[in-house]
A and B are shown apart, each in its own frame.
Chain A
Amino acid sequence: MTDKFISIEAIAKRYPGASGGEIAVFENLWLSMARGEFGCVIGHSGCGKTTVLNILAGLDEPSEGAVIVDGQAIEGTSLDRAVIFQSHALLPWRTVLGNVAYAVTSKWRDWDRARVKAHAQTFIDLVGLTGSEHKRPSELSGGMKQRVGIARALSITPKIMLMDEPFSALDALTRGTLQDEVRRICLTTGQTAFMITHDVDEAIYLADKIFLMTNGPGAVLAEIVENPLPKDRGRTDLHRHPYYYAVRNHIVDFLVSRSKTFAADVPGHDPRNVPVVRIGVSEPTIVAAPRAIETHPAQTIAR
């Protein structure tokens, strides 16, 4: 990890507790990502994933620590960091084109109408919404709305795309096609992306690095799982890959049991130096007892 395009350094978020004191959602959290990487955060509700994303977006401020993007500490929101909201957050009184154009004019204030329109249209075409430019959000399906959200985020050509469970409200089919779109766009444009998800398969399909967070309050970044699957992986044959089950089981095990007991199990956990898990050998056979999954021998832990 030499190239730290995004570097979250020792951030903490605390809220005033009910009985006077403060409750820390997380303390001393370190996380970094290289340019062009796709990072996914997985963790249970309440572990502060959304807070991390909001801090990264500049919508929220850490109680302590700093976030450095491209060599500069961030201050507030920026057009360099686009957010795709879980609830799409389209302005309902604007058309599809109007919503994208709003972002475009926010970035390039001196552009004339025709140029803004042409630029917005490019991104509407990119997400496959050609022909729906003049529809209002209420006339669109959930998947189409989220496509507009993606087009709006991409249209300002951000350095980082931040996604807060963008597909969780969609049905499985739509979610799949949108995952394909996002992956295609990120691969072709070399977009750096940071995404929060609950869906393990989504993380395995999209992410280069999967960040596992323990349960809050007092959540920590427990492990960084490197995705062993090849870059040209497809969504439909993901599960045929020899490493797929190994990585999936590792993440599911973490979510099911280790996310609760991590603090007790690993007392010397160094938040600055989070172990990187590299899954090396496939999960070859169907195991008879569930125990066998837990004691998987094939993972190597690299510091």
Chain B
Amino acid sequence: MNASLRLRAAIVSVALFLAFIGIWHIATRGTGAVGNMSPEYAKLMGLTATAGKSAMPGPLDVGAKLWEHLKQPFYDNGPNDKGLGIQLGYSIARVALGYLLAVIVAIPLGFLIGMSPLMNKALDPFIQVLKPISPLAWMPLALYTIKDSGLSAIFVIFICSVWPMLLNTAFGVAAVRKEWIDVARTLEVGTVRRAFTVILPAAAPTILTGMRISIGIAWLVIVAAEMLVGGTGIGYFVWNEWNNLSITNVIIAILTIGVVGMLLDQILARFTRLVTFPE
């Protein structure tokens, strides 16, 4: 029953995909109406005006271009012409660095907040004010103080991924069942050992959920941040191809951003499953 449900769902998914591609193909097939113009003028106007080709690339154009990119993902022909793989690599590296910094800060701080009601109350107003700030609003301040666009992008990733992790860690730590703490207390387990052997495993599923939310936000923000700072990265690639008016490449970039985001989420989901315990 379960397998057949999965099979049926897969069939529907494929059907929807094919329908989408089909509609896309038909919609971008071409206008047909071609004006009569002199050969010199036609050279200037391009295929849209002369052959009635749609201004929007069709699925076949995108597919062909995607194949080109996949065949040569790591070429580097100077600052404005790098392979898709290189651009993605830059973005992933920035996300990884900023995210790692956020983990280093948020998890110990979340433990502190979760274990100490005093720190919880004392830090709460700061968190409440800082949390809703759009990460990109930090960008000018980061550029001004750090004076390096690459590092500024990493800082923006850090600042946007820190909050969900911090809040989830604090919540997870504070919500550890009292009886488990009592077990550790009756066994005279010290604070550090208690933190690692009782609180960390008990709060791990909640912490990992926070980390999963964070990686999603970080991946959303990196594209926007790279559009601003420029130079390298998938976000810059999107903006550069928009300036080149290569809608095909823009569509390909959108697609790859989605696929990479999904992979990052799946990795964290797998980690979450590893630390989740049945009760």
Please classify how large the interface on chain B is, using the bins under 10, 10 to 19, 20 to 34, 35 or more.
10 to 19
**Least Cβ distance of A16 to chain B in Å?**
17
Instruction: Give CA–CA (A81, B188) in the complex, Å.
Output: 10
Main secondary structure of the interface of B (DSSP, over half): helix
B275: chain A residues within 8 A (beta carbon): 93
B182 x A89 contact (CB < 8 A): yes
Please encode chain B, from 185 to 221, with 1 for each CB lying within 8 Å of some chain A CB and 0 for all others. Answer: 1111100000001100110000000000000000000
Per-residue contact bits, chain A 121-146, to B (CB 8 Å; 1 contact, 0 not):
00000000000000011100000000
Q: Shortest distance in angstroms between A159's beta carbon and chain B's nearest beta carbon?
A: 13
Contact partner, A106, options B177, B182, B189, Cβ 8 Å: B189
The answer on a CB contact under 8 Å between A85 and B183 is yes
Contact A102 to B197, CB < 8 A, known contacts A87-B179, A138-B279: yes
- Kindly state the separation between the CA atoms of A40 and B99 in the bound complex, as whole angstroms: 55
- Interface contact A103-B187, CB-CB below 8 Å: yes
Please give the distance in Å from A297's CB to the nearest CB on chain B.
45
The answer for the CA separation of A58 and B180 in the assembled complex, in Å, is 15
How far, in Å, is B158 (CB) from chain A's closest CB? 30
State which of A81, A91, A92, A136 has its C-beta within 8 Å of the C-beta of B186: A81
Q: Would B198 and A91 count as touching, CB distance under 8 A? A: yes
- In the assembled complex, the Cα of A69 lies from the Cα of B198 at a distance in Å of 28
Q: How far is the CA of A106 from the CA of B197 in the complex (A)?
A: 11
User: Which residues 38-52 in A have Cβ within 8 Å of B in the complex?
Assistant: none
User: Does B277 sit at the interface, judged by CB under 8 A?
Assistant: yes
Q: How far is the CB of A52 from chain B (nearest CB, A)?
A: 16
Question: What residues on B are CB-neighbors of A77 within 8 Å?
Answer: 185-188
Nearest A residue (CB) for B205: A93
Q: Mark B256-279, 1 if CB is under 8 A from A, else 0.
A: 000000000000000000010111
Dominant secondary structure at the A interface: loop
Q: Which of B180, B182, B189 contacts A59 (CB 8 A)?
A: B182
Beta-carbon contact of B180 and A106 below 8 Å: no
Contact of A136 among B183, B198, B201, B278 (CB under 8 A): B278
**Is A79 an interface residue when CB atoms closer than 8 A count as contact?**
yes
CA distance A81 to B197 in the complex (A): 21
- A89→B178 CA distance, assembly (Å): 9
Collect the chain B residues with CB atoms within 8 Å of residue A87's CB. 179
How far apart sit A87 and B186, CA to CA, in the bound complex (Å)?
Answer: 15
A78 interface residue (CB < 8 Å to B): yes
Question: Nearest Cβ distance between residue B196 and chain A, in whole angstroms?
Answer: 12
Q: How far is the CA of A103 from the CA of B185 in the complex (A)?
A: 11
Q: Is the CB of B277 within 8 A of A106?
A: no
- What 0/1 pattern do residues 142 to 158 of B give for CB contact below 8 A with A? 00000000000000000
A82 touches B201 (CB 8 A): no
| Known interface pairs A89-B179, A91-B180, A93-B201; A107-B279 also in contact (CB < 8 Å) | no
Q: Is the CB of A57 within 8 A of B186?
A: yes
The residue from B180, B186, B188, B198 contacting A83, defined by CB atoms under 8 A apart: B186
Extra contacts, 4 of them, besides A93-B277, A107-B187 (Cβ < 8 A), are A77-B186, A79-B186, A85-B182, A136-B277
